[in-house]
Amino acid sequence: MTLNSVLRYEPSAEWGSVPAGVSFSGDANSVAVDSADRVYVFNRGPRPMLVFRTDGTPLGGWGDGEFQNPHAITIDADDNVYLVDSRLGHVVQKRTKSGELLMQIGTFGQPAERHSGRYFNGPTDVAVHPVTRELFVTDGYGNARVHRFSPEGEHILSWGESGGYPGQFSVPHGISFLDADHVIVCDRENFRLQIFTLEGKFVEQWHAFRPLAITRSSQDGLFFVAELGPAPSQHGLPNLGNRVVVVNDHGETVARIGSTLPGDAPDQFLAPHGLALDSKGDLYVAEARRTWSTGQLGFPVPASEEISLRKWRRVDA
């Protein structure tokens, strides 16, 4: 396949710095951008929410001691912040951009029975419908489900079960909207993106290498997909994830961002876990660097804050 020669991104090697005395602890983990292009990083350091300008200047943060396992963040058109506290937390929260709690779904610290289908056991991501404001939550670590809620947090329906056939999941990890009538789910360990109606009816699937997160560009409708790297026995082999892939609304790859090998260089990733785009089309990538290296690769790597949070500038103007 011939890739798009116009869509190009370049890494900003020196972008961003955390405030003195604060760190991501190697796991920037998740990122979102609000209507004013402020960059929110929901991370696993001592200050779970850190906010930056697009030039990397820190603007402050909040959430000290309030979360167990920060995993995903989504910001809606009104700049409400939706946060997924995964293992140990097992909740989805709606907060103001300054951190005030507005709503919580689930009981903090009390998971549903594993693979019971009830919410939540290790939730992974949340998407907010652009029109109805309904919430769609992937419940992926201790479940194999997608849950749909009203804007007020009332449960509407759920679908999915463990397995590899269409409509089944093996770690549903990220979620977004293909359009107003369809959701697209990162089915991580089945190496695919699955598309469903809002009622949970399977439509089609696209291949992806262990997809972790997905976000759509408001400029051209393209989807940016974070691909995790291979299993430990395949570590160091080229062309096996560890990058961001750009696909169109037919699932066709139009661009790839990042080296074919994992590493520490400005154009390399180790565990791209969260994605966001600003109004210029610049890309922010948050990595679960410490968690992935120590838990999956079997050896530690430096917990560099600059590597945990990356910015890539769109240069195809």
Residue 273 has pLDDT above 90, yes or no: yes
Look-up of token digits 């820190």: 58
Q: Does residue 2 sit within a domain?
A: no
Number of structural domains the chain divides into: 1
Contact 260, 243 (CB under 8 A): yes
Q: What is the mean pLDDT of residues 26-45?
A: 95
Q: What is the pLDDT of residue 297?
A: 55
Q: Does residue 1 sit within a domain?
A: no
Q: What is the pLDDT of residue 13?
A: 77
Q: What range defines the domain where residue 281 resides?
A: 9-314
Q: Does residue 13 sit within a domain?
A: yes
Do you know the residue count of the chain?
A: 317
Concatenating the DSSP letter of every residue in 194-236 gives EEEETT--EEEEEE-SSEEEEEE-TTT--EEEEE----GGGTT
Contact 134, 148 (CB under 8 A): yes
Q: Does residue 47 sit within a domain?
A: yes
pLDDT tens column, 106-124: 999 999 999 999 999 999 9
pLDDT tens column, 46-71: 999 999 999 999 999 999 999 999 99
Q: What is the pTM of this model?
A: 0.95
Q: Does residue 3 sit within a domain?
A: no
The residues, ordered by sequence, that sit 6+ positions from 213 with a Cβ below 8 Å of its Cβ are 30, 72, 125, 173, 174, 186, 225, 226, 272, 273, 274, 275
Which residues are bridge partners to 245 per DSSP?
225, 256
Q: Does residue 285 sit within a domain?
A: yes
pLDDT tens column, 231-265: 777 777 888 888 999 999 999 999 999 998 888 88
Q: Does residue 162 sit within a domain?
A: yes
Q: Give residue 210's region: left, alpha or beta (phi > 0; psi -120 to 50).
A: left
If pLDDT is split at 50, 70 and 90, which confidence band does 1 have? very low
CATH number for the domain harbouring residue 273: 2.120.10.30
Chain mean pLDDT for the chain: 92
Look-up of token digits 């269409």: 166
Q: Does residue 307 sit within a domain?
A: yes
